[in-house]
């Protein structure tokens, strides 16, 4: 260690004054013993201002023999010296406990793109931004081993570098000098806490279609558990290379970051820079009276039709306002939406578009693209073999939008933990000594294929969608896209797709707002606009809810539940945000109601009565319908048992049904449905038989 550098660091700690004339570092050092801290956090810019040459020694320079790692050690040593002056007993006590003091630097100007991490960065003090995707359990790491010679009993201390276990090569007792064996005196050795993490490129900086890069990193001492899986963080540290384990292997570059300081960033949407000129453009755009229509038209313009789904997607992109009620209950602002559709109706294309458009968008597939799946998993860390918590897609998309294709194909673990993620927006995990609750404040836009290949109208949604009702009920909006031949629509769509192919994009599908601008517009809206309901908006929502609930009383079909009340609020707020309005007005509420009603009609309509009934969505049929249907089926069974041919007359069936208060129309509809389901057939006109 260079004594002069240590002295200069001492001067810096004792002599640096900020613009208000405060000695901020000496104040920090004085507080360390009171707060039981072992590290001092230093802004690199302060050091640069105070002693540029010393600051320069944190930059590696092989020619001048400058190694940042030694410079950091010198800073640590200076800290200990100054701390000794301030509180000698605290230092002595720490030494007894074998604790070390550290200086931690932030604002190191060498920010390296994870994707551009190369061999030239080895040994450099760099900064890396990314998402923590994995965190291991915390384990003690041997820093200094005390070893005893098995033959003469002489003890010696060996420092353990970079976590690789090293025994003495020979006994230090000149009379012994044997090469072994040695015992580690575990109680007299020095340890520190160690946690391995993995830092991954942020989805928003990832070029579309690329697999994100990851770099392993190590946190020691008081840094462990200061960040969580799913956090966006900036890490400052020295890039090191893993020592080759075996000979004969390729000497490849296998880097890891020895973290000096790490901090998570909680800022929202800071990623997209909006210059004043663009801001002006955004504000002007928002004044356009047809801004809603223009935004909707800008959603996947190359995909034909699907206006209502595009409107829903646009709305969800903006999102409502998340709030915490006075009693601490969290109310999510993000809406979840599910699109179920026949194969080849451009579901995947829509998701692709949304993912590219959304600030902080993430695209994944239910068919586990990573072992952590959609939520989170405890896995063995490939680096260390320790158990580690790995964040899944919804955690990584925190404060963003998660597009999930093939949602119905998600793995069983996700199936059981997705409920919490969708409603509470957290993912809790307790396994193999890891207990954690991760944030998943994300809007979910999911797509699924129908269970039987094609969506069958005669079956209720629960049968068509391969997902349990408990999951379905957590979607605010649910849409069905059917691929039905229709000459006029087919002609228009064919024309649309063909024209696109010929490059006639301008005439047919000119986006009203460019993707680049819309992306900034959304980001701006989410950052600056926090709409709240006006009195009239509140009244309108209340009225709608009460009206629909009243129908419920009369028909005993449950048309709406309180969950959808919250959905309308979220969607109304999103609608206001689309126009950069702080006030949610009746127009916004009407648009939200329209979305919800369309969605409910698509999936909650009883195929027999034509009425919306939430029970349809959740259990397949309504209670009354179910019992009436059962009555008819019972009659058919009973009658076919009596008849030798097992054939039942429809007229007799209707007569018997009437006796039990089931009207003729209804019998016809039920028979129709049973026929399509293949449960009965007609051997002759006017007669049915069980299949
Ligand atoms: P899915 O995921 O629903 O099975 P895809 O997204 O893979 O379907 O779409 C299949 C193809 O059909 C895509 O190339 C898509 O562009 C085209 N396509 C389907 N419907 C439309 C439409 N309405 N407008 C334009 N292209 C469409
Ligand atoms: Mg698909």
Domain region containing 676: 623-690
Does the Cβ of 346 fall within 6 Å of ligand 1? yes
- Mean pLDDT for 230-242 is 88
Q: Is residue 269 part of a domain?
A: no
Tell me which of 339, 341, 344, 482 to substitute to probe ligand 1's pocket, judged by most ligand atoms within 8 Å of the beta carbon. 344
Does the Cβ of 495 fall within 6 Å of ligand 1? no
Q: Is residue 629 part of a domain?
A: yes
Between 23-27, 39-43, 369-373, 473-477, the lowest mean confidence (pLDDT) is in 369-373
What is the pLDDT, as a whole number, of residue 182? Answer: 83
Q: Are residues 464 and 355 in the same domain?
A: yes
pLDDT > 80? residue 477: yes
Q: Is residue 502 part of a domain?
A: yes
Give the separation between CA 254 and CA 272, rounded to whole angstroms.
32
Instruction: Please provide the distance, in angstroms rounded to a whole number, between the alpha carbons at the two ends of the chain.
Output: 90
CB within 8 Å of 102: residues ≥ 6 apart: 38, 39, 40, 76, 79, 221, 222, 260
Atom 14 of ligand 1 has which residue's CA nearest to it? 346
Give the separation between CA 484 and CA 504, rounded to whole angstroms.
26
For residue 218, what are its two tokens? 């190590």
- Find the CATH number of the domain harbouring 18: 3.30.1640.10
Between 262-276, 359-373, 391-405, the lowest mean confidence (pLDDT) is in 262-276
Per-residue pLDDT reduced to its tens digit, 513-543: 888 889 899 989 988 899 999 999 999 999 9
Query: Which residue among 81, 106, 131 closes a domain?
Result: 106
157: β partners: 146
Report percent pLDDT > 70 for the chain: 89
Q: Are residues 373 and 250 in the same domain?
A: no
What distance in angstroms lies between residue 343's CA and the mean position of ligand 2's atoms?
7
What distance in angstroms lies between residue 405's CA and the mean position of ligand 2's atoms?
7
What is the pLDDT, as a whole number, of residue 506? Answer: 47
Q: Are residues 20 and 70 in the same domain?
A: yes
| Confidence at 577, pLDDT banded by 50, 70, 90 | very high
Q: Are residues 298 and 252 in the same domain?
A: no
| Phi, psi angle pair for 388, to nearest 5° | -140, 150
| Confidence at 585, pLDDT banded by 50, 70, 90 | very high
What is the pLDDT, as a whole number, of residue 148? Answer: 86
Q: Are residues 653 and 584 in the same domain?
A: no
Q: Are 438 and 230 contacting, i.e. CB atoms less than 8 angstroms apart?
A: yes
What distance in angstroms lies between residue 616's CA and the mean position of ligand 2's atoms?
26
What is the pLDDT, as a whole number, of residue 261? Answer: 94
Give the separation between CA 78 and CA 102, rounded to whole angstroms.
10
Q: Are residues 676 and 589 in the same domain?
A: no
Per-residue pLDDT reduced to its tens digit, 616-650: 666 555 556 666 777 788 888 888 888 888 888 88
DSSP string, 453-505: SS--TTS-HHHHBSS-HHHHTT-SEEEEE-----HHHHHHHHHHHHHHHTT-H
Does the Cβ of 304 fall within 6 Å of ligand 1? yes
Does the Cβ of 109 fall within 6 Å of ligand 1? no
What is the pLDDT, as a whole number, of residue 507? Answer: 45
pLDDT > 80? residue 45: yes
pLDDT > 60? residue 270: no
Q: Are residues 426 and 498 in the same domain?
A: yes
Q: Are residues 516 and 548 in the same domain?
A: yes
Q: Is residue 294 part of a domain?
A: yes
Ligand 1 atom, smallest distance to 350 CA: 6
Work out how many domains the chain is built from and give that number: 4
Tell me which of 343, 345, 446 to substitute to probe ligand 1's pocket, judged by most ligand atoms within 8 Å of the beta carbon. 345
Q: Are residues 352 and 484 in the same domain?
A: yes
241: β partners: 255
Q: Is residue 271 part of a domain?
A: no
Does the Cβ of 588 fall within 6 Å of ligand 1? no
- Find the CATH number of the domain harbouring 478: 3.40.50.300
Query: Which residue among 601, 617, 633 closes a domain?
Result: 617
Q: Are residues 131 and 91 in the same domain?
A: no
Helix orientation angle between 307-318 and 586-604, rounded to the nearest 10 degrees: 120
Q: Are residues 499 and 418 in the same domain?
A: yes
pLDDT > 80? residue 383: no
pLDDT > 50? residue 508: no
- Find the CATH number of the domain harbouring 668: 1.10.10
What's the 3-state SS for 192-236? EEEEEEEEECCHHHCCCCCCCCEEEEEEEHHHCCCCCCCCEEEEE
| Confidence at 269, pLDDT banded by 50, 70, 90 | very low
Q: Are residues 590 and 666 in the same domain?
A: no
Query: Which residue among 242, 264, 286 closes a domain?
Result: 264
| Confidence at 554, pLDDT banded by 50, 70, 90 | low
What is the pLDDT, as a whole number, of residue 683? Answer: 81
Q: Name the more confident of 78 and 144.
A: 78
Q: Name the more confident of 631 and 281.
A: 281
380: β partners: 387
Ligand at minimal distance from the CA of 351 is 1
Give the separation between CA 137 and CA 387, rounded to whole angstroms.
6
Q: Are 192 and 154 contacting, i.e. CB atoms less than 8 angstroms apart?
A: no
Q: Which residues surround ligand 2, an ion (CB under 5 A)?
A: 348
């Amino acid at each position: 260690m260079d004594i002069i550098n240590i002295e200069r660091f001492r001067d810096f700690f004792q002599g640096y004054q900020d613009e208000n004339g405060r000695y901020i570092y000496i104040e920090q050092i004085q507080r360390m013993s009171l707060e039981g801290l072992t590290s001092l956090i230093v802004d690199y810019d302060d050091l640069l201002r105070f002693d540029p040459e010393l600051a320069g020694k944190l930059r590696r320079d092989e020619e001048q023999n400058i190694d940042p790692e030694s410079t950091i050690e010198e800073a640590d040593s200076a800290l200990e010296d100054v701390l000794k002056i301030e509180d000698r007993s605290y230092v002595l006590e720490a030494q007894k406990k074998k604790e070390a003091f550290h200086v931690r630097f932030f604002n190191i100007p060498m920010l390296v793109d994870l994707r551009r991490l190369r061999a030239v960065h080895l040994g450099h003090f760099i900064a890396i931004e990314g998402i923590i995707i994995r965190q291991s359990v915390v384990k003690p790491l041997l820093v200094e081993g005390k070893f005893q010679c098995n033959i003469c009993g002489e003890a010696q201390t060996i420092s353990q570098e970079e976590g690789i276990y090293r025994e003495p090569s020979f006994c230090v007792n000149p009379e012994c000098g044997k090469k072994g064996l040695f015992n580690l005196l575990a109680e007299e050795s020095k340890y520190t806490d160690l946690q391995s993490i993995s830092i991954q490129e942020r989805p928003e900086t990832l070029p579309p279609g690329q697999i994100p890069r990851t770099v392993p990193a190590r946190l020691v001492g008081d840094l462990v558990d200061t960040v969580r899986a799913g956090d966006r963080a900036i890490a400052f540290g020295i890039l090191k290379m893993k020592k080759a384990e075996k000979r004969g292997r390729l000497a490849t570059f296998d880097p890891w970051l020895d973290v000096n300081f790490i901090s998570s960033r909680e800022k929202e949407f800071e990623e997209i820079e909006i210059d004043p000129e663009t801001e002006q453009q955004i504000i002007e755009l928002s004044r356009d009276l047809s801004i809603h229509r223009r935004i909707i038209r800008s959603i996947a313009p190359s995909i034909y039709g699907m206006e209502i789904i595009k409107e829903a997607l646009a709305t969800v992109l903006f999102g409502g306002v998340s709030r915490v009620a006075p009693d601490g209950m969290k109310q999510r602002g993000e809406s979840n939406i599910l699109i179920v559709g026949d194969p080849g109706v451009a579901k995947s294309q829509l998701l692709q578009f949304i993912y590219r458009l959304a600030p902080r968008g993430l695209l994944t597939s239910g068919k586990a693209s990573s072992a952590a799946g959609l939520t989170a998993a405890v896995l063995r860390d490939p680096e260390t073999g320790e158990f580690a918590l790995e964040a899944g897609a919804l955690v990584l998309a925190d404060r963003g939008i998660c597009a999930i294709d093939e949602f119905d194909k998600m793995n069983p673990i996700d199936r059981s933990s997705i409920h919490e993620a969708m409603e509470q927006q957290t993912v809790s995990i307790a396994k193999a000594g890891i207990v954690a609750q991760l944030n998943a404040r994300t809007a979910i836009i999911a797509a699924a294929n129908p269970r039987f290949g094609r969506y069958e109208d005669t079956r209720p949604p629960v049968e068509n969608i391969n997902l349990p009702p408990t999951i379905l009920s957590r979607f605010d909006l649910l849409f069905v896209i059917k691929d039905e031949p229709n000459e006029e629509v087919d002609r228009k769509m064919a024309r649309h797709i063909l024209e696109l192919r010929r490059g006639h994009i301008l005439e047919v599908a000119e986006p009203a707002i460019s993707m680049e601008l819309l992306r900034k517009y959304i980001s701006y809206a989410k950052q600056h606009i926090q709409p709240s309901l006006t009195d009239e908006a509140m009244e309108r929502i209340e009225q709608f809810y009460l009206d629909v609930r009243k129908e419920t009383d009369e028909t005993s079909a449950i048309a709406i539940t309180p969950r959808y009340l919250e959905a309308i609020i979220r969607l109304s707020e999103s609608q206001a945000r689309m126009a950069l309005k702080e006030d949610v007005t009746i127009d916004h509420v009407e648009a939200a109601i329209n979305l919800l009603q369309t969605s409910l009609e698509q999936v909650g309509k009883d195929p027999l009565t034509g009425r919306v009934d939430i029970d349809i969505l959740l259990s397949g049929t309504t209670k009354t319908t179910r019992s009436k249907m059962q009555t008819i089926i019972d009659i058919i069974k009973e009658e076919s048992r009596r008849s030798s041919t097992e054939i039942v007359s429809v007229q007799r069936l209707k007569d018997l049904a009437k006796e039990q208060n089931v009207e003729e129309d209804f019998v016809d509809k039920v028979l129709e449905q049973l026929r399509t389901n293949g449960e009965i057939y007609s051997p002759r006109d006017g007669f049915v038989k069980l299949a």
